[in-house]
Amino acid sequence: MTRSGRTALAILLVVGGLAFTFFFVGVVGIADCSDVCLERGEPAVAWALMAAGLGVAAAGALLLRASGTRAASWGLLVAGAANVLAVAWLLARGGGGWTWWSLALSLVPLGLGAYLRSR
């Protein structure tokens, strides 16, 4: 891939990832989640998608300086860690249901990111 193509892809990933993240920040900000909603873990899906957007943006930012595999591994680690933090916050507020599934699924990008970092 040429340098200009790599730069364009990196910018696209950063802008796209941040736009995706901020869209779901708006969804969570607008949504009126009652105690029953929180107990079912409904906000966990939006928080997981926000974390995925942050991971894409992180991978795009690192694509300028690192190899594709290294950028992808850090993007996965950022997405997984951000989701674990969001789930911990939701669980502290009394979340359940989908929150536990979100925690379990956040282990996938963490594990894959750690595997790619070890290669």
Task: Please give the pLDDT value at position 113.
Answer: 93
CA 53 to chain centre: 5
Phi, psi of 54 (to 5 degrees): -65, -40
Q: Give the whole-angstrom CA distance, residue 11 versus residue 43.
A: 29
Q: How many domains does the chain have?
A: 1
Q: Is the pLDDT of residue 14 over 90?
A: yes
Asked if residues 56 and 109 have their Cβ atoms less than 8 Å apart, the reply is no
Determine how many CB atoms are found less than 10 A away from the CB of residue 75: 26
pLDDT (mean) for 65-86? 92
For 27, the domain range is 3-118
Contacts of 68 (CB under 8 A, 6+ apart): none
Q: What is the pTM of this model?
A: 0.87
Helices in the chain by DSSP H: which ranges? 3-30, 35-40, 43-63, 68-92, 98-118
Task: Using a pLDDT cut of 70, give the percent of the chain over it.
Answer: 100
Give the integer Cα–Cα distance in Å for 51 and 17: 9
